[in-house]
Amino acid sequence: MNSVTTITRGTTSICLASMLTVSTQCTETSHLHDYFWFNYQLAAGKVNEANAWFAKNLQTAPVHVYKGYTQLLHATGKHQAITALIPKLDAHFATDPDIQLIFYQALAHTGNRQRAHELLMNLSQQFKSNQEIAYMTAQAHLKNHEPSNALSVVNDYLNSTPPKSSNFVFHFLKAQILTQLDKKTEALTSVTKSVRMQPLFDAGWLLRAVLEEQLAQEKTGQAQTKQVQEAIKAYIAYLELAGGNDMIEKHLLSIFFKQKVAQHNQKELSLPTACLEKAVALFQQKKYTQGLQELDQCLAQQTKNKSAPYKTVHTQNKPK
């Protein structure tokens, strides 16, 4: 009876086969144990220990062990060593997107830009639902001034994956691309999806605010007023998340006053100095909604108290 017993001591597996016969099971069990041990060391950040294991065992290790080795080389920036392994490992890991991405990054870092680009394009067709590959491919197209191709990659990804919160970045990227293609209405739809998925995404709110404001300029009357109000809300959301921004705060006040000038059909507005100072103080406290509400109250009261000190606010708007 050729039973096999495996005794593990520290990092060494000792296989005992009855009748002193050589056991294939022993060898496989030993490799498996050592492979798990290596991955434990790598996950724990013990790079030196992991390197030592590979230096000792790589020549006799099965090919699947090279996945961990490739990840180790990638983690330590050994891009040239990875590119040297590609001919040996490419076929075995052809359906492993993680390893293929490491190959791509190694090629890119070692100056093999054409090979890297071709590999990434192939991966984008093979793994359309892979988030990292889709994002990298879209960015590569944008770098090459190919926004339409980038948009196609993003659409392929979104169409091949179920809706999930982590996709907010792809809806944002899609909005950026559509903006570049001068498709602002579609861009607004995409960035709105992005901030609904991730309401704490400040860059999404800023892009939405800019698009709302630009689209408002193409409208008139109540439609314009409504879209300006949406732009103001989006700017406020951005400021509250970003912790303030002097330039955006001034711009927010500017479009607020321009809207009021248009509503009153005037070239300028006169506000009680005390009210204006209070609104400014609220802005300094990052209380933007309250600050604009204070200005609204000031404007409503300006005809009731002509004796109070006033300050004139000028805008570039002309009465219609």
Residue 237 within a domain: yes
**290 and 255, same structural domain?**
yes
Q: Please, which pLDDT band fits residue 288 given cuts at 50, 70 and 90?
A: very high
- Least confident range of 54-63, 84-93, 275-284: 54-63
Residue 170 within a domain: yes
**244 and 182, same structural domain?**
no
Q: Is the per-residue pLDDT at 184 higher than 80?
A: yes
pTM of this structure: 0.76
Domain boundary pick from 152, 167, 198:
198
Q: Which residue has the higher pLDDT, 311 or 22?
A: 311
What is the per-residue DSSP string for 147-202? Answer: HHHHHHHHHHHHHHS---GGGHHHHHHHHHHHHHTT-HHHHHHHHHHHHHH-TT-H
Please write the tens of the pLDDT for every residue from 206-219.
999 999 999 999 99
Q: Is the per-residue pLDDT at 1 higher than 80?
A: no
Q: Which residue has the higher pLDDT, 89 or 37?
A: 89
**300 and 210, same structural domain?**
yes
Q: Please, which pLDDT band fits residue 296 given cuts at 50, 70 and 90?
A: confident
Q: Is the per-residue pLDDT at 233 higher than 70?
A: yes
Mean pLDDT (the chain) is 82
Residue 284 within a domain: yes
Q: Is the per-residue pLDDT at 15 higher than 90?
A: no
Residue 264 within a domain: yes
User: Quick one: pLDDT at residue 46?
Assistant: 60
Residue 279 within a domain: yes
Please write the tens of the pLDDT for every residue from 243-270.
989 999 999 999 998 888 877 666 666 7
User: Quick one: pLDDT at residue 161?
Assistant: 94
Q: Please, which pLDDT band fits residue 277 given cuts at 50, 70 and 90?
A: confident
Q: Is the per-residue pLDDT at 48 higher than 70?
A: no
User: Quick one: pLDDT at residue 275?
Assistant: 83
Q: Is the per-residue pLDDT at 4 higher than 80?
A: no
**251 and 162, same structural domain?**
no
Range of the domain at 249: 204-304
**183 and 228, same structural domain?**
no
Q: Region 175-197: what's the mean pLDDT?
A: 98
Q: Is the per-residue pLDDT at 52 higher than 90?
A: no
User: Quick one: pLDDT at residue 47?
Assistant: 59
Residue 2 within a domain: no
Number of domains in the chain: 3
